[in-house]
Structure 1
Amino acid sequence: MTDKNAKNENSKIRIMTFFPPFIILVAFLVLSLVDQETFLGVINNINNWIIKNLGWAASILALAIVIVAVVAMFSKFGDVRIGGEDAKPELSNFSWFTIALTTTMAAGVLFWGPGEPIAHYAYPPTELYGVEPSTSGSLKFAMETMFLHWTIVPYCMYTVPAVVFAFMYYNAKKPYSIASEVSPLLGDRCYHPRWMQTIDAITLFAIGAGMAGSVAQAFMNISGGISKIFGLPSNARLWFMVGIVVAAVTVATAVSGIQKAMKHVSNINVYGFAIFLIFLLVFSNASFLFNLSTEALGGFAGTFIERILITGESVGTQWPQWWTTFYWFSWMAWAPTSGAFMGQIAYGRKVKHVLGLYVGLCASVSAIWMVLVSGTSLWVQTSGLFDLVASYDRGVENVPYDMLGALPLGNLIIPLFVVLIFLSTITACNSNCIAMAGISTQGINPDSPDSPMWLKLVWCVVPMAVGYIMIATVGVNGVKIIANFGGMFAALIMIGATASLGILIKNYKKFDKTDAGSSDKA
């Protein structure tokens, strides 16, 4: 196929893939503007149904994903190279790591990293674990919960669909479609146009909702920093202005492609992470951080299965649904589309190296982040340097800035923190804009991977607009509601991807069409 023909083919929109999720997401915007009371009633009713009826399923699926990912790493399938034996990586190891890390960490870890442990310290689920608020027990519980929510589980959720997609796309020569993440289970029937477009449409809605929740966190967090630096009120007006800037920069980097601006933004972001973490290590209390985290790590490991499966039904509490289940649904909402992107950049790597980088290295970095960031937040609170519980009660976006302001030279590092949120949001969003636009068009393949620029623009602006509406009307709980919406639909894909990885572990040769010694990517 010539470059011109490939370009023309890639400009053809997949109507039944693009329009259903686009229309539903736009309907969110229209209903919120026309009749806000009805809008809030509808979304709250749907959300309450999700957390009441599907929380148990999300917990079981999360555990199954972790088990399958670990088994895959140590199986014979782990030695398979994505793209064939002679496939060569297109990204350096460092760029691959930085893009994977910043794409998955996104703004969420910056938003919740300082604030969430304060919530668990001050408001633990006493009825579930007998932990009293603002005690040594809730201190340990807070750190255990950060390890549960932010380390191995989310990275397994990202990696399972990534490995299946990468193998089916490059090795099995299947289309650039989320259907490739479930095809080992469903067979070629999932590539029938009707099935394939349905699967991709479900995924586009899921990631649109997940992306909306993530950018909403970023709008609030960046605005909190601007408020701290310039004294402006962090409100819906400032969130809107921040959203405009984030959207503009995201589009600019997304249309430039993986190998250009996005790679440089990711590299800069990781250097910024390192500087920020070193600052916390030097100016907080390292002994407190490492001692508390070591103790909490033991508790996390010892209660892992119990905590991952908790639903709260036995004592009639919804705490797990509003925290743990929210995270499982949130990660699932991102996972199928992020998996397509992360699988695409894994070309030339062995499956065990993909799992090692994503589940091993990236999850370890996230754990270090929790040790230093969440640990510092808890130290500032318990040492009396600042009342971060009061900050949390004013709005979770206030916590990181009040935490930093309590440290020596902290006010100097606040601008860096704002920049990190900004860059993390851009990196995560433009990776998904690229993947979403690719899924929405025909003709995407390894030799012609670019989709139309206008589609990247659409899938950048619409989710960001939905995210803004949710926080402007519902507040921080709007982040959780929209994540639950997306995760509910994405869970269907994740069930298929998990089963598909199990099938590949057992019999990957059945699907592999690469010839030993061939480096052809077509």
Structure 2
Amino acid sequence: MKYPLRPLVFWPTFLILLAAVIASYLDLQAFLAVSKTLNRMILDNFSWLFSASSFLLVVLTAIVYFSPLGRVRIGGEDAQPLLSKWRWFMVALCTTLAVGVLFWTTAEPLYHLYGPPSSLKIAPGSPEATSFAMSTMFLHWTLTPYAIYLVPSLVFALVFYNLRSNFSIGAMLQPLIGAERVKRYAGLIDTLAMFALVAGMASSLGTGALTLSGGLSQYIGGETTPLRLALIIAVIVITFVASAASGLQKGIVKLSTFNTWIMLALGLFVLVSGPTLYMLSLGVESIGLYLQTFFSRSLFTGAASGDNWPQSWTVFYWSVWFAWAPVSALFLGKIGRGYTVREFIHTNMLYPALFTALWICIFSGCSLYFDAQGSGALNRVLNEQGVEHVLYQMFQQLPASGLMIAFLLFIAFISFVTAADSSTDVIGNLCSRGVTADSDLDGSPLLKVVWGVIIGSVSWVMVAFVGIDGVKMLSNLGGLPGMLIVLLASSALIIWLKNPALLAQPTAMQEPSTPPPAALSTPAHPALEPTP
């Protein structure tokens, strides 16, 4: 095999996931009770840390951007970019929050409209609640989540390309604890972070299959059966595994480019055919409220009033982003070679946040408008039929709804695939030895196929026979360790801010390209979600 297996990363992740599936199958209620209790303990005891950490990452990003570190080139002054700036942006956009943004921007504002925090004394369904709902969407989906992804991605890019480290999540801690300690604990760190990603991918794939099945039922009728779910999951898995296995340039870039263009077309259609003036006006007004309350809302934990709204929404989101950030950082960092730190911040935070803000103005504004016109019609769909039906119901109010819902189904499919292929690419690399800054960076195609099959199988079993909540809860449990990894990794930026010259001193920390024979034999694999 070109890139032999790292058994201490592959097998623990696979066996823990298998044990979780078996436990949830034997006694789902007990399994959910335990996982929900653990989630609640984490959110109750560490809400302050999630809020403070996410806010500090935004501040740290701003400091780095305007510092001399911003001029450092990833890979050195002579490094050649892997991708053009436009393709780089499209890949970064489609592999982070695009899937979540597609669906949640229509449903989530309805939750905030009719269930604002009790401590803020906002009447549900009021004009104040409408402004609150929109401003909350900007808080949850723009600068802060992208900062959570950006910081570890930037650290990994500089460690991997400038310090010539190995392809590992643990490598991000090298500037803080040294190369030798990183080599000793890298396998454990990679396993913890990868498990959160694999569980999240299985959860997202199952949720995506349910969403696509709900859309298909509007055309072909019938119930969502295990067979229908199996067929949908199989098509998604085959597509994203083929994309990931074909490599960065052939598969992932082309699919992300296509996905970006069709999302732009969809957004333009809704902007032109929907309540354009209302969407833009409410969006601009709500951006003002978001900026005005950014500091207080970012650090809002509800402790003084006993309000648990932040734990249910904002802090929960930070936990999800932190769970995904360490592994996503490997892919985002890998594709940043040849550009400066400042350009990296543009492409991985500022431009995607602007795109998402415009998307929120269009889709959240449209959802709130049609809900008000129908006296709470979309909210009734949300409560009676579920999140996945709100977007389709909103499109029923627009021209050519039959054609556009079919187009929406296609976009949903492509969006799930583009989010999954980059994660599968990273999973394959993490489980492989010998992936270095000087290699082709594509890892083992076989491992990507194996993980794709495992993730597809797990998501089908959970969604068809057990319930997807079990895997989703497991994914969320990765928030605390993910946050600790990101915070420790962010210390590297503080060290480099004081002495950027350290990035010109490469260390020899690569794994040997030819591992001992004992490490050559073993098989492996899972994969999928963005963001909420």
- 1:459 Cα deviation from its structure 2 partner: 3.0
Unpaired runs of at least 5, structure 1: 1-6, 516-522
Can you list the C-alpha shifts for 1:440-488, whole angstroms capped at 9, x where unaligned? Answer: 1211113322322332133334444555566567868667634421222
- What is aligned with 2:197? 207
- What is aligned with 2:434? 443
- State how far apart, in whole Å, the 2-side matches of 1:386 and 1:317 are: 25
Deviating 4+ runs (over 6 angstroms) = 473-476
Alignment partner of 1:21 out of 5, 13, 27: 13
Report if the CA contact (8 A) 1:208-1:486 is conserved. Answer: no
The count of corresponding residues between Structure 1 and Structure 2 is 505
Alignment partner of 1:513 out of 499, 502, 505: 505
Alignment partner of 1:252 out of 218, 221, 242: 242
Report the CA distance shift for 1:470/1:138 in structure 2 as closer, same or farther (over 3 A).
farther
Report if the CA contact (8 A) 1:98-1:267 is conserved. Answer: yes
Partner-residue secondary structure (3-state), 1:54 = helix
2:386 is the counterpart of 1:395: yes
- State how far apart, in whole Å, the 1-side matches of 2:276 and 2:144 are: 26
- State how far apart, in whole Å, the 2-side matches of 1:272 and 1:409 are: 17
Report if the CA contact (8 A) 1:254-1:431 is conserved. Answer: yes
Report the CA distance shift for 1:424/1:505 in structure 2 as closer, same or farther (over 3 A).
farther
Report the CA distance shift for 1:477/1:20 in structure 2 as closer, same or farther (over 3 A).
closer
Report if the CA contact (8 A) 2:371-2:378 is conserved. Answer: yes
- State how far apart, in whole Å, the 2-side matches of 1:267 and 1:277 are: 16
2:90 is the counterpart of 1:98: yes
Which residue identity lines up with residue 238 of structure 2 in the other structure?
A
- State how far apart, in whole Å, the 1-side matches of 2:496 and 2:455 are: 34
Report the CA distance shift for 1:32/1:508 in structure 2 as closer, same or farther (over 3 A).
same
2:42 is the counterpart of 1:50: yes
- 1:400 Cα deviation from its structure 2 partner: 0.1
Report if the CA contact (8 A) 1:25-1:462 is conserved. Answer: no
1:107-118 paired onto structure 2 within 5 Å? 107-118=99-110
- 1:49 Cα deviation from its structure 2 partner: 1.7
TM-score relative to the length of structure 1: 0.91
- State how far apart, in whole Å, the 1-side matches of 2:21 and 2:472 are: 17
Alignment partner of 2:155 out of 157, 160, 164: 164
TM-score relative to the length of structure 2: 0.90
Report if the CA contact (8 A) 2:196-2:476 is conserved. Answer: no
- State how far apart, in whole Å, the 1-side matches of 2:375 and 2:394 are: 9
Can you list the C-alpha shifts for 1:169-197, whole angstroms capped at 9, x where unaligned? Answer: 111111111122221122223332x3111
- State how far apart, in whole Å, the 1-side matches of 2:377 and 2:89 are: 37
2:115 is the counterpart of 1:132: no
Report the CA distance shift for 1:140/1:232 in structure 2 as closer, same or farther (over 3 A).
farther
- What is aligned with 1:152? 143
- 1:236 Cα deviation from its structure 2 partner: 6.1
- What is aligned with 1:416? 407
Alignment partner of 1:339 out of 313, 329, 332: 329
Partner-residue secondary structure (3-state), 2:504 = coil
Alignment partner of 2:286 out of 296, 309, 315: 296
Partner-residue secondary structure (3-state), 2:398 = coil
Report the CA distance shift for 1:291/1:331 in structure 2 as closer, same or farther (over 3 A).
same
Unpaired runs of at least 5, structure 2: 508-532
Alignment partner of 2:72 out of 80, 84, 88: 80
Report the CA distance shift for 1:328/1:238 in structure 2 as closer, same or farther (over 3 A).
farther
Report the CA distance shift for 1:172/1:20 in structure 2 as closer, same or farther (over 3 A).
same
- State how far apart, in whole Å, the 1-side matches of 2:317 and 2:204 are: 11
Report if the CA contact (8 A) 1:105-1:424 is conserved. Answer: no
Which residue identity lines up with residue 47 of structure 1 in the other structure?
N
- 1:361 Cα deviation from its structure 2 partner: 0.6
- What is aligned with 2:26? 34
- State how far apart, in whole Å, the 1-side matches of 2:458 and 2:488 are: 28
- What is aligned with 2:308? 318
Report the CA distance shift for 1:182/1:81 in structure 2 as closer, same or farther (over 3 A).
same
- State how far apart, in whole Å, the 1-side matches of 2:192 and 2:199 are: 11
Report the CA distance shift for 1:290/1:379 in structure 2 as closer, same or farther (over 3 A).
same
CA RMSD of aligned residues (A): 2.2
